[in-house]
Amino acid sequence: TDHSDTERLRERIARVLIRARERTAGLTDCLDEGELVAQHSRLMSPLVWDLAHIGNQEELWLVRDVGGREPVRADIDQLYDAFRHPRADRPALPLLDPAEAREYTGTVRAKALDVLADSDLRSDRLISGGFAFGMIAQHEQQHDETMLATHQLRTGAPALAASPAPTAAVPVSGEIVIPAGEFTMGTATDPWALDNERPAHPVRLPGFAIDAAPVTNAQYLEFIADGGYRRRELWSERGWAHRVEVDLNAPQFWENDGGNNWWRRVFGAMTPLRPRQPVVHVCWFEAEAYANWAGKRLPTEAEWEKAARFDPATGRSRRFPWGDADPDESTANLGQRHLEPAEVGAYPAGASPAGVHQLIGDVWEWTSSGFERYPEFEWFPYPEYSEVFFGGDYRVLRGGSFGTDEVACRSTFRNWDHPIRRQIFSGFRLARDLRSDER
């Protein structure tokens, strides 16, 4: 019945909000006050800024907009407005201290749950299907992933722990051919999809080949050994200028002991490089140079989505490569269950019908595409989420990483960043056009 559907949705929203808050607490309660207010990298906010910003967005959207309630702290809105203060400037702001930030987010959350209890979850577009609540849960989880990246950047004793990611269960290598034809890109039906994933629209692609798995550390090492970082011809003009300027020689957090032994600093612990894991912490320009070295290219965003969704048996676009069911431990490495990508071949149950593996989870995958609006895009509920970024110096990343929660991950989900960024959990896979004898 209608009534019990609404109650089930209400319970699901509460669960998803609580899960996000448990993660936020786990990322902040493990550090002392000094570490929470410190800036661990100029690319990142102090963790205490993320914490209060999560609460402030929840206050703006759930407490004031959806609930129509009185402000909790209207005086601090401007401190936590991401457009007003660049990340590098945030430590100097008169921010709430960690205890105040925790109290503030807790007060806002209690009011938000009260609004949820009062809401019919149908009345208008902002709350129909629980959209505003889902948007806020995704927002908190996105900041949790950003805070996880801050943890990776900080120095000092490890503060986080998790079990190792799974090893290969099946061998996976080579390429998969996706035949020419139309598919549906974007979504009209996913109630919590964000504005930039809409509307659903037909896209016709020529046939292409896409790698069955992301590029691994072992493969990336071959590129390094073959002079990949020294050979100017492999790099674009901008890529080479950036390589020289910041002296790129290997993925971020890799260390070499002088011989051929590579190590990776993973959340404060030095670990031997695991050859079969996807490479992580590379920027778009490194991915581009690797693709040139391999004689291939990055997939376009549309190619990636077709590989991740198109079901050749029905012609329909699925929510995930394996079908419409939510991710679980057998299909994808998501949700900070592990603090590293899983080996290629670790998730046979998560493969697409065509046999493409690990599109969801492990590492965000750079595509060749800039961040652009879909045809007939309409911003919702505010232009600052996506619209203001269209046409900027960004590349789209797809698929989510080991640090992405499932509420903020689906085959239509679009992430974007500057092509020089690599503190995010970014890797890539390759694609190519079909030769005439393959078409």
Judged by CB, which is closer to ligand AVJ: 284, or 416? 416
- Torsion, Cα 258 275 308 438, to 10 degrees, reads 90
Q: 3-state class of 178 per DSSP?
A: strand
If binding means CB under 6 A, how many residues of this protein chain bind ligand AVJ? 6
Pick one of 146, 252, 352, 369: the residue that binds ligand AVJ (CB under 6 A). 146
Give kind and range of the element (H or E) at residue 224.
Answer: helix 217-225
Contact flag: residue 367 with ligand AVJ (CB under 6 A): no
CB of 406 closer than 8 Å to CB of 327: yes
Angle between helices 2-28 and 47-58 (to 10 degrees): 160
Angle at 192 between CA 380 and CA 186, to 5 degrees: 75
300: buried, middle or exposed (CB in 10 Å: 19+, 13-18, 0-12)? middle
With contact defined as beta carbons under 8 Å apart, do 248 and 229 qualify? yes
Q: Which is nearer to ligand AVJ, 292 or 415 (CB)?
A: 415
Q: Which of residues 404-423 bind ligand AVJ (CB under 6 A)?
A: 415-416
For position 277 contacting ligand AVJ by CB under 6 A, the verdict is no
| Residues 421/426/427/428 CA torsion (nearest 10 deg) | -80
Of 343 and 405, the one with the shorter C-beta distance to ligand AVJ is 405
Question: How many other CB atoms are found less than 10 A from the CB of residue 349?
Answer: 11
- Complex with ligand AVJ: residue 80 or 262, whichever CB lies closer: 80
Smallest gap, in angstroms, from Cβ of residue 416 to ligand AVJ? 6
User: DSSP assignment of 379-437, as one string?
Assistant: --S-TTTTGGGTTSS-EEEES--TT--GGG--TT--EEE-TT--SSSEE---EEEPPGG
DSSP state, residue 55: H
Shortest distance, position 181 Cβ to ligand AVJ, whole Å? 30
Distances (CA, A) of 337 to 55, 161, 328, 342, 423: 24, 10, 11, 11, 19
Provide, rounded to whole angstroms, the least separation between the CB of residue 223 and ligand AVJ: 27
Q: Nearer Cβ to ligand AVJ, position 121 or 408? A: 408
Residue 142 within binding range of ligand AVJ, rule CB under 6 A: yes
Q: Min. distance of Cβ 139 from ligand AVJ in angstroms?
A: 6
- 150 in contact with ligand AVJ (CB under 6 A): no
Is 45 a binding residue for ligand AVJ by CB under 6 A? The answer is no
User: Rounded to the nearest whole angstrom, what is the least distance from the CB of residue 207 to ligand AVJ in the complex?
Assistant: 31
Residue closer to ligand AVJ by CB (options 307, 424) is: 424
Residue 187 in contact with ligand AVJ, rule: CB under 6 A: no
CB of 371 to ligand AVJ, least distance (A): 9
Cβ nearer to ligand AVJ, comparing 146 with 423: 146
- Shortest separation between residue 314's beta carbon and ligand AVJ, angstroms: 31
Pick out residues in 226-255 that bind ligand AVJ (CB under 6 A): none
User: What residue is closest to ligand AVJ based on CB?
Assistant: 142
Label each residue of 311-358 as H, E or C: ECCCCEECCECCECCCCCCCCCECCCCCCCCCCCCCCHHHCCCCCCCC
Q: Which range touches ligand AVJ (CB under 6 A), out of 105-113, 142-150, 204-212, 348-356?
A: 142-150
Please report, as ranges, the residues that interact with ligand AVJ according to CB under 6 A: 139, 142-143, 146, 415-416
